Structure 1
Amino acid sequence: MKIAFDAKRFFHNNSGLGNYSRDHVRILAEHFPENQFVLLEQKKSERGKAILNFKNVFFHQIKSGKFARQLKFGKTSQEINSDIFHGLSGELPLKWNKKPIKKIVTIHDLIFVRYPQFYSFFDRKIHFWKFKNACDQADLIIAISEQTKRDIIEFLKIPAEKIKVVYQGCHQTFKEKKSEEFLTETRLKFNLPEKFILNVGTIEPRKNLLNIVKTILGTKVNLVVIGKKTKYFNKIEQFILKNNLKNQVYFLENVSMEELSAIYQLADIFVYPSLFEGFGIPVIEALFSKTPVITSNSSSLPEAGGKNSLYVNPESVEDLRSKISFLWNNESERQRLSENGFEYVQKFTDEKIAANLMKVYLEVLEN
C-alpha cells in the first residue's frame, strides 16, 4: 500500500498539527514497514528529518507555485500511484484527475464554530469552507475524539458512518523515565521550585491560564507555565503584578522537548482547565509522565484523562482551587492518581494507535 500525505504541517509546524503529522507518519513507518509513505510538500525542513531516515518514508517535492496544496498535491499523489491520499490537518486538494484514489481527512476540532469570539470573521469562514469541502469529498474522515466526531455530525452535517475515531498519542520522550542527573540539571537550568504545579500550552484565552493564577492567590503553591505568549499574557501579567505573585509564577522559554518531558516528571500536579479541546495532548503527556492531572469536565478532556484524573468546571475558580488544594496537600492521593492514570494512558501507545490507523486504511480500500 502506498499512502501520500499533505506534509505542509509535518515540515513547517513546530507543535500541534506538526506533532500530530510527524507522530502519525512515524508510528505507521515503524509498525508497518511493508507499506510506503510519501510526504508531499514544496520544501523540506529540519523538522521530521529523522522520520525521513525510515526506508519506507519518501519525500516527493512539489514544484513551488501559488495554491500548490490545492491544485497539485492531489494530482501528484495519483500520478505516483498512491492508493490513499491523507490530509492530516483538515484539508484536501481541490483538483484531481480521473485515476482512482481513496481520500481521507483528519479533523482535529471545530473550536472556531463553538468559540467564534477567538477567531476573526474571515478565518471562521475560511476554516468552515475548507473543513466542509474536505469532509464532503473524503471517502472517510478521522476524528481525533468522540467530541470531534459529534461536532462534525452537528456542525458539518456529515453522516456518522463516514467518521472513525482514532485517538492521538504523544512524543516518545514523554514515555521515557528521565535519569535523576538529567532531572536535576533541568531543575537547576530553569531555577524550578522544589514543589510546583504545571501548565503547558499556548497562553491564550481558551486555555484559561488566568483562572489557574487566581487559584494560587493567598497560597504557597508555585506555578510553572510553558507556552507561547499571545496578547492574553498581558492580562495575566497585570494580575500577577497587582497581587504580588511574581515569586510564585514561573514562565519558561526555549524549553526543548527533552527538557519539557523532564519538567512534566518533576511536577507534582498538571493543571489544564481549558475551555475546549479537540483532544488535549498535554493531558496524555502528563499521564505518561506519571503526573496526576486536574483538567476540565467538558469537551474531549475526560476522554484523554480517563477516570483517574480530577475534573473541574473550567470557569469556576473555586472548584479549581479546591481540587488543587486537595491534591497539593495529599501525597498519597497524588501517588494513587499517578499509578492509575499511567495504567489508563496505555490505550494511547504507538502500537495501538498504529493498529487503529491501519484498520481505517484497510477499511477504506475494501470499500
Structure 2
Amino acid sequence: MKIAFDAKRFFHNTSGLGNYSRDLVRILSQYEPDNEYLLLNKNKSERGKDILDRSNVKFVETSKGNFSRQFKMGKDAQKLGADIYHGLSGELPLKWDKTPIKKVVTIHDLIFVRYPEYYSFFDRKIHFWKFKKAAETADKIIAISEQTKRDVIEFLKVPETKIEVIYQGCHKAFKEQQSQEFIQGTKDKFRLPERFILNVGTIEDRKNLLNIVRAIHETNIPLVVVGRKTKYYQKIAAFLKKNKMENQVIFLEGVSMDELAVLYKRADIFVYPSFFEGFGIPVIEALFSKTVVVTSNTSCLPEAGGKDSVYIDPNNYLDLRAKIQFLWENESERKRREEKGFTFVQKFNDEPIAKELINFYQKII
C-alpha cells in the first residue's frame, strides 16, 4: 500500500497532534515496513528527522500557495498514486479529482463543542465546519477513544458503522531506561526535590491545575508542573502568592522528551484532574513510566487509566487532596498500583496499534 499523510502537524507541532502524527508514522514504518508512507506538506522541519531517514518514509513537497492544503494536497496525493489519504488532525482536503483514493480522518476530540467557553465564537464555527465536512468526506473515521466516538456520533451526526476506535500510544522515551548519568543530570538541571508529584499539560482552565494547588495547600508535598503557560497561569500565581506556596510548586518549560521521561519516572504520583480529554496521553506516559496515576473520573480518562489508577471528581479538590495524601504516605499501595497499571498499559504498545491500523487500512481498500 501507498499511504499519504497530511504532515503539517508532523513537522510543525511540538506536542499533542504532532506527537500523534510522528508516532503513527514511526510505528507503521517500523512494524509494517512493506508499505510506502508519504508525508505531504509545503515544507519540513527537523522534527521527525529520524523517521524520515527510513527507506519507506518519504517527504513530498506539495503545491504552495494560500489554502493549498485545502484545495491541492488531496489532488497531489492522487497524482502520487496513493491508495489512502489520511488526515491526522480532523481535516481533509476540500478538492479531489476522479482518481480513486480512500479517505481517512482521525478525530481526536470535540472539546470545542463540549466546552465552548474555552474557544472564540469564530474558532468554534471554523472547527465545527471543518470537522463536519471531513466526517462527511471520509470513507472511514478513526476516533482515538470511545468517548470521542460517542461525541462524533452525537455532534457530527455520523453513523456508528463509519467510525472505528484505534487508541494511540506514546513516545518511545517513556518505555526506555535513561542512563543514570542522564537521570542525575536532569535532577540537577531542574533542581528536583527528592520526592514530588507531577502534572504535565498546557496550563489552561480545562486542565484544572488550580485544584491540584488547592489540594496540596497546607501539606508539604512538592509539585512539579511541566507545560506552556496561558492567561490561566495568573490565577495559579495569585493563589500561590496569597498562600505563600511559591517554593512548593516548580514550573518547567522547554523540557526534552527524554527529560520528561525522567520526570515521570522520578515522580511519586502523576496527578491529572482534567475536566475533559479526547484521550489523555499523559496518563499513558505515566503508566509506562511505572508511576501511579490520580486522574478524573470523567470523559475518556478511565479508558486511558485502567482500573488500578485512582479516580477523583475534578471539581472536588478535597477529594483530590485525600487521594494524593493517601498514596503519598503509602509506598506499598503506590507500588501495587504501579505494577498493575504497567500491565494494563501494554495494550497501548506500538506493535498492536500498528497491526490495528494496517488491518483498518486493508479493510477499507
* Fold similarity call, TM over 0.5: yes
For 1:126-275, list aligned pairs within 5 A. 126-275=126-275
C-alpha deviation, 1:194, in angstroms? 0.8
Normalised TM-score (structure 1): 0.99
Q: Deviations along 1:127-182, whole A, 9 cap, x unmatched?
A: 00000000001000000000000000000000000000000100000001223332
Contact 2:63–2:76 (8 Å) recurs in 1: no
Structure 2: give runs of 5+ residues left out of the alignment: none
**Counterpart of 1:69?**
69
**Counterpart of 1:3?**
3
- How far apart are the structure 1 equivalents of 2:101 and 2:182? 48
Structure 1: give runs of 5+ residues left out of the alignment: none
Normalised TM-score (structure 2): 0.99
Local SS of the residue matching 2:263: helix
C-alpha deviation, 1:48, in angstroms? 1.1
**Counterpart of 2:54?**
54
Task: Report how many residues are paired.
Answer: 365
Q: 2:32 is matched by which residue type in structure 1? A: F
**Counterpart of 2:15?**
15
C-alpha deviation, 1:63, in angstroms? 2.6
C-alpha deviation, 1:183, in angstroms? 1.7
- How far apart are the structure 2 equivalents of 1:217 and 1:80? 58
- How far apart are the structure 1 equivalents of 2:111 and 2:283? 18
- How far apart are the structure 2 equivalents of 1:256 and 1:35? 31
For 1:28-43, list aligned pairs within 5 A. 28-43=28-43
**Counterpart of 1:350?**
350
- How far apart are the structure 2 equivalents of 1:316 and 1:356? 38
**Counterpart of 2:100?**
100
C-alpha deviation, 1:216, in angstroms? 0.8
**Counterpart of 2:288?**
288
- How far apart are the structure 2 equivalents of 1:254 and 1:12? 16
1:360 pairs with 2:360:
yes
Q: Deviations along 1:49-86, whole A, 9 cap, x unmatched?
A: 11111101011101310101111111011111100000
For the aligned residues, what is the CA RMSD?
Answer: 0.6
- How far apart are the structure 2 equivalents of 1:177 and 1:55? 27
Contact 2:31–2:351 (8 Å) recurs in 1: yes
- How far apart are the structure 1 equivalents of 2:223 and 2:85? 43
1:88 pairs with 2:88:
yes
Q: 1:125 is matched by which residue type in structure 2? A: K
Contact 2:29–2:57 (8 Å) recurs in 1: yes
- How far apart are the structure 1 equivalents of 2:58 and 2:325? 50
C-alpha deviation, 1:253, in angstroms? 2.0
**Counterpart of 2:328?**
328
**Counterpart of 2:26?**
26
Q: 2:59 is matched by which residue type in structure 1? A: F
- How far apart are the structure 2 equivalents of 1:144 and 1:330? 34
- How far apart are the structure 1 equivalents of 2:7 and 2:177? 31
1:78 pairs with 2:78:
yes
- How far apart are the structure 2 equivalents of 1:240 and 1:6? 42
C-alpha deviation, 1:288, in angstroms? 0.3
- How far apart are the structure 2 equivalents of 1:134 and 1:48? 26
Local SS of the residue matching 1:50: helix
- How far apart are the structure 1 equivalents of 2:72 and 2:48? 22
C-alpha deviation, 1:256, in angstroms? 0.9
